[in-house]
Amino acid sequence: MMIVELIDGDDFRARLSALGVDIPEDADPETSARIAAETHRVQAVEGLPETVRELMNQRDILLPAVRQAIERFLPVE
């Protein structure tokens, strides 16, 4: 049996934080995506579009709440 690690809200927040986006520790996926989008509009976040594309290409392990937050606030450019 293969065990797959799902990409949840904590993983999503950690990836955005690794890019330099300041996200509160208790932020849900929607809040994380909204903050990342606002930060990117003010000053481009290097690697954000690539990270978003990478996550969306992993739909089979991306939890729905994360996918929906990305689709709503961080559409792939």
**pLDDT tens readout for residues 16-40:** 999 999 999 999 999 999 999 999 9
Give start and end residues of each alpha helix (H) in the chain. 9-18, 29-42, 48-56, 64-73
Banded pLDDT at 64 (limits 50, 70, 90): very high
Task: Say if residue 1's pLDDT is above 70.
Answer: no
Supply the pLDDT for residue 5. 87
pTM of the prediction?
0.91
Supply the pLDDT for residue 18. 98
Supply the pLDDT for residue 70. 97
Please, are residues 63 and 10 in contact by the beta-carbon 8 Å criterion? no
C-alpha 49/C-alpha 69 separation (Å) is: 14
Domain boundaries along the sequence of the chain = 9-18+26-73
